[in-house]
């Protein structure tokens, strides 16, 4: 038996956003967007585990996902060729078709600051322009730090930096309901924190662009 229960979907989704969660607004927007998409054209099938089918941003048919994300990667690489040549960022496609953009904090933020460097905003504008042309995706921005300073301070700094990127994307026209800001602090280092070179690698912002796939919509909203 299939039925639409929008209020229940929204309440359930929002219950996972704690009142003291610094990313509550962004998460709430994405949760409401998913619920609205279910109301527009799809249903919750109780017999299949209550999986939400359909999202406000639209879903891709499984067979077309690879080409859709390949094309998006090509556009990203063309738009960001200069930045890649300067080793300011890396672009790769993961096994699950997710597109990942890895940005060094040295080019995006000053030390101990969550304010975007003005010299880097043109790069983010290029990313935002491509994201708008591929609306069938959810964007997770994940902030990371090195281990200098307290763990709690680094956690908050990583959250603020991720939120700065999300806010900029939103200001450039990317729908808020597609955007998630996540802070991982110092918990996921890529290299040792014992050397400056390692700490530099650990200070970064990662952007994960996940496709919304028909029948698997909820996976796009899961944090990478």
Count of beta carbons in the 10 Å neighbourhood of residue 66: 13
**What is the structure's pLDDT at 95?**
86
**What is the structure's pLDDT at 57?**
65
Burial class (CB in 10 A: 0-12, 13-18, 19+), 45: middle
- CA dist 130 and 196 (Å) reads 34
Q: How far is CA 215 from the centre of its chain?
A: 20
- CA dist 159 and 141 (Å) reads 9
What is the SS3 assignment for the chain?
CEECCHHHHHHHHHHCCCCCCCCHHHHHHHHHHHHHHHHHHCCEEHHHCCEECCCCCCCECHHHHHHHHHHHHHHHHHHCHHHHHCCCEEEEECCCCCEEEEEEHHHHECCCCCCECCCCHHHHHHHHHHHHHCCCEEEEEEEECCCCCCHHHHHHHHHHHHHHHHHHHHHCCCCHHHEEEEECCCCCCCCCCCCHHHHHHHCEEEEEEEECECCCHHHHCCCC
- CA dist 75 and 222 (Å) reads 25
Q: Which fold has domain 61-220?
A: 60s Ribosomal Protein L30; Chain: A; (3.30.1330)
Say what the pTM is.
0.76
Which residues of the chain register pLDDT less than 50?
1-16, 18-19, 22-55
**What is the structure's pLDDT at 110?**
87
**What is the structure's pLDDT at 56?**
53
- CA dist 35 and 5 (Å) reads 9
**What is the structure's pLDDT at 14?**
46
Radius of gyration for the chain, computed over Cα atoms and rounded to the nearest angstrom: 18
- CA dist 218 and 44 (Å) reads 12
């Amino acid at each position: 038996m299939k039925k639409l229960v929008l209020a229940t979907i929204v309440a359930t989704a929002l219950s996972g956003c704690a009142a003291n969660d610094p990313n509550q607004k962004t998460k709430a927007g994405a949760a409401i967007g998913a619920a609205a998409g279910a109301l527009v054209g799809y249903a919750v099938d109780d017999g299949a585990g209550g999986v939400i089918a359909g999202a406000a941003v639209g879903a891709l048919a499984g067979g077309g996902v690879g080409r859709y994300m390949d094309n998006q990667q090509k556009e990203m690489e063309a738009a960001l060729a200069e930045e890649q040549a300067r080793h300011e960022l890396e672009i790769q496609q993961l096994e699950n078709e997710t597109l990942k953009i890895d940005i060094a904090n040295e080019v995006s933020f000053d030390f101990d600051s969550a304010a975007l460097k003005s010299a880097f905003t043109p790069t983010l504008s290029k990313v935002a322009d491509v994201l708008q042309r591929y609306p069938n995706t959810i964007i997770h921005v994940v902030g990371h730090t090195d281990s200098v300073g307290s763990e709690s301070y680094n956690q908050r700094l990583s959250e603020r930096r991720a939120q700065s990127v999300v806010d900029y994307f939103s200001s450039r026209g990317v729908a808020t309901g597609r955007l998630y800001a996540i802070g991982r602090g110092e918990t996921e280092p890529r290299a040792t924190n014992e050397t400056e070179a390692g700490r530099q690698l650990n200070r970064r912002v990662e952007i994960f662009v996940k496709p919304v796939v028909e029948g698997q919509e909820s996976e796009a909203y899961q944090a990478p």
